[in-house]
Amino acid sequence: MTNRALATVAATLYLSLLTACDKPTAEAPPPLAVLVREVGQQSAVPLTIYTGEVRARHETDLSFRVGGKLVARNVEVGDAVRKGAALARLDPQDLRLSAEAARDQLSAAEAELSLARSELDRARQLVAQNFMSESVLDSRRTAVEGAEARVRQARAQSELTANQAGYTVLKAEHDAVVLAVLADRGEVVAAGQPVLRLARQDEREVLIHVPEGRVAGISVGMPAQVRPLADTERHYAAQVREMAAAADAATRTFAVRLSIEGADERLPLGASAVAGFIETDAKGTLLPLPAVVQQDGRTVVWSVGPDGVVQPAPVELLGIREDGALVGDGLQAGMQVVVAGTHRLTPGQRVRAVAEHAPVQLDVSR
């Protein structure tokens, strides 16, 4: 081989080495991101759950104490009202006329009484002078007594009609919110006919319906937990306040009312809520269903260590519910448990733990 050929081969090898040095080395794949939940102290967990409705502890149907034509209604459904506020009004004209007639009758009865008393006094004088018999005097006394009775009756009727004239305005007896409007302007309502339904907001409860096969396990005073249907993180302590004595004829369920401790605006009236009854002997931790898996015939969860490496941890499965899996022994307080993406994990795999409720950031550079 000539010197020129050897030089060409050497130059080619040199350029190949330079090109190989310029190629970047393959980057290791980033750790898999997984959602984790930190295990807290095990506590009593509600095992039986029901869906119900948030109701006011005190609901009242308001009605007029007299009948008449409804001429004004000052509130709508959802309005908050203060104690003493005027809510609706009847046409007062007929009642005013009745009150005036009753006052006139009272005046006439008082005039009759005055006349009867004058005649009694004159009869006494005539009897003293032997110009009138005792029997006539007795009749004058009877006339006075009758007139006094008619005055009492007329006075009572006058007071009654005066009161009725004041009953034409329907007022709120407590601070409340309007739940329903049961009569509208222009309607003629009878005395006692519901016109508005109001609910006090100081106490709230949840109304649930329990099947007859489960009602035997519930008793007044039994502890429970309540949360809004749309909010899985907010929980309220509750207890059974009242149970229906008989089942509903149509649904064959028993109405159960749970009083709520510390209810606030996150439990608005009419909202759907989830109620769970607590069995104090059952201790456990509720995890999402994907967090608990079967591996080699064992029930395990995937635990993320401080070094970011996952390992399967055997646990005791207490039960499966609609809202998750109830886990007993095997979990420790502070353990980071993978709650999503467990199907992609292998023992010893390095991952990047993301808190379950941490905000998600999307990498738009790729």
- Does 64 share its domain with 197? yes
Residues 64 and 54 in one domain: no
Helix count and strand count (H, E) for the chain: 3, 22
Mean pLDDT over 105-130 rounds to 86
**Are 350 and 326 found together in one domain?**
yes
The mean pLDDT value for 35-48 works out to 70
Residue 70's domain is classified under what CATH number?
Answer: 2.40.50.100
Residue 72 has pLDDT above 70, yes or no: yes
Please give the share of the chain, as a percent, with pLDDT higher than 90.
34
Please tell me whether residues 217 and 197 are part of one structural domain. Answer: no
Domain boundary among 281, 309, 336: 281
Rounded to an integer, the average pLDDT of 45-55 is: 80
Query: Do strands 351-355 and 32-38 pair parallel, antiparallel, or not at all (unpaired)?
Result: parallel
The mean per-residue pLDDT over the stretch 278-307 comes to 81
Residue 46 has pLDDT above 80, yes or no: no
DSSP codes of every residue in 267-312:
S-TT-EEEEEEEEEEEEEEEE-GGG-EEETTEEEEEEE-TTSBEEE
210 and 335 part of one domain: no
Residue 301: its pLDDT value, please? Answer: 93
Residue whose entry in the numeric block shows the structure tokens 């005066």: 162
Q: What DSSP state is assigned to residue 30? A: P
Residues with Cβ within 8 Å of 339's Cβ and at least 6 positions away in sequence, in order, are 35, 36, 37, 287, 288, 290, 291, 356
pLDDT over 70 percentage in the chain:
85
Residue 221 lies in a domain: yes
- Residue 158 CB-density burial (10 A; 0-12 exposed, 13-18 middle, 19+ buried): buried
C-alpha angle 18/19/21, rounded to 5°? 65
Q: Which helix H or strand E contains 113, and what residues bound it?
A: helix 93-128
Assess if residue 9 is contained within a domain: no
Q: What's the CA gap between 299 and 309, in Å, rounded?
A: 19
Q: Which residue has the tokens 């009202």?
A: 81
pLDDT greater than 70 at residue 44: no
Q: Are 157 and 197 in a shared domain?
A: no
Report whether pLDDT(23) > 80.
no
Six-digit token string for 30? 């980033």
3-state secondary structure of 59: strand
Question: Do 227 and 325 lie in a common domain?
Answer: no
pLDDT of res. 311: 94
- Segment 229-253, tens digit of pLDDT: 888 778 888 999 999 999 999 999 9
How many CB atoms are located within 10 Å of the residue 108 CB? 13
- 275 and 206 within one domain: yes
- Could you tell me the CATH number of the domain that includes residue 255? 2.40.30.170
Of 74-83, 112-121, 156-165, 309-318, which gets the smallest average pLDDT?
A: 156-165
Q: Quick one: 237 and 331 in the same domain?
A: no
Categorize the per-residue pLDDT at 98 as very low, low, confident or very high, splitting at 50, 70 and 90: confident
- Total count of domains within the chain: 4
Mean pLDDT of 213-220: 86
Q: Give the pLDDT confidence score for residue 358 in this predicted structure.
A: 54
Mean pLDDT computed over 265-279 = 83
pLDDT of residue 321: 63
In a domain, 348, yes or no: yes
Least confident of 10-19, 49-58, 116-125, 306-315: 10-19
Domain span including residue 343: 32-42+284-355
The radius of gyration computed from the CA coordinates of the chain, to the nearest angstrom, equals 42
Phi, psi at 83, each rounded to 5°: -60, 130
**Judgement on whether residues 266 and 244 belong to the same structural domain of the protein:** yes
91 against 26, higher pLDDT: 91
Q: Is residue 294 part of a domain?
A: yes
Mean pLDDT across the stretch 200-208? Answer: 90
Q: What's the pLDDT score for residue 334?
A: 86
Q: What pLDDT sits at residue 41? A: 56
Share the mean pLDDT of the chain. 83
CATH assignment of the domain containing 137: 1.10.287
Q: What is the pLDDT of residue 262?
A: 84
pLDDT band at 9 (very low <50, low <70, confident <90, very high): very low
The answer to whether position 119 is within a domain reads yes
Write out pLDDT tens, residues 148-203. 899 899 889 888 878 777 788 899 999 999 999 999 999 999 999 999 999 998 88
**What's the average model confidence in pLDDT over 47-52?**
82
Do residues 239 and 257 both lie within one domain? yes
| Residue 138 reports pLDDT greater than 70 | yes
